[in-house]
Amino acid sequence: MEARKHSALKDSIRSIPDYPKPGIIFRDITTLLSDPRSFRRAVDSLVHPYAGGQVDQVAGIEARGFILGGAVAHQLSSGFVPIRKKGKLPHKTVSLEYSLEYGTDHIEIHVDAIKKGDRVLLVDDLIATGGTATAAVNLLRQLGAEVVAACFVIDLPEIGGAQKLRDLGVQVRTLVEFEGH
């Protein structure tokens, strides 16, 4: 049944060629989110391995990680912590700069969002290069979190982001894979 669930999830994701630039195929989960059955299956599949009090906080990466992470946190009876782009959080934050293909970016989190020793599950929609996810793991660890795992609906394994997280000692869970970029 699990293989069928994941096949149905993959079928619910829209692929948009040449977006945001030529040669890229954008994997759009808004079609998954708008289908109640697919959305439920995705959240249940992300939650299942961590049920039973293993997670204190779910951290979601802006922006689709907020949607998925909030639903996962609800199902786990855990708190939810947003990881945002610099300048978007209203209280005192800790920030981390990380490298992109062309340049750098910053993510941040409220300084009091995580307590030392909190078991945190990181959630986002897709893992590609792993730059943002790696920065998020490092930011969470900087605040004293134990990153239990990082979960994504989609993996683009050819790009190698999931392996970067594994190399940091983070368990990675993904639901579907797509070839290419």
Q: Summarize pLDDT for 56-102 with one digit per residue, the tens.
A: 999 999 999 999 999 999 999 999 999 999 999 999 999 999 987 67
134 found inside a domain: yes
- From residue 160, alpha-carbon distances to 83, 117, 155, 179 in Å are 22, 29, 9, 11
Residues of the chain with pLDDT > 90, as a percent, come to 87
Instruction: Tell me the average pLDDT of the chain.
Output: 93
163 found inside a domain: yes
Give the pLDDT mean for 144-168: 97
Give the pLDDT mean for 148-174: 97
Give the helix/strand (H/E) hosting 60.
strand 57-61
17 found inside a domain: no
Residue of 1, 3, 34 whose CA lies nearest to 13: 34
Residues of the chain with pLDDT > 70, as a percent, come to 96
Q: Is 77 helix (H, G, I), strand (E, B) or coil?
A: coil
pTM: 0.94
25-37 residue pLDDT tens: 999 999 999 999 9
Residue of 37, 24, 64, 36 whose CA lies nearest to 152: 64
30 found inside a domain: no
pLDDT, residue 134, reads 97
104 found inside a domain: yes
91 found inside a domain: yes
pLDDT, residue 99, reads 85
Q: Which domain holds residue 89?
A: 53-177
CATH classification of the domain holding 155: 3.40.50.2020
In the chain, the number of structural domains is 1
Q: Do the Cβ atoms of 69 and 78 come closer than 8 Å? A: no
Enzyme catalytic residues: 64, 101
- From residue 108, alpha-carbon distances to 132, 134, 145, 168 in Å are 11, 13, 15, 20
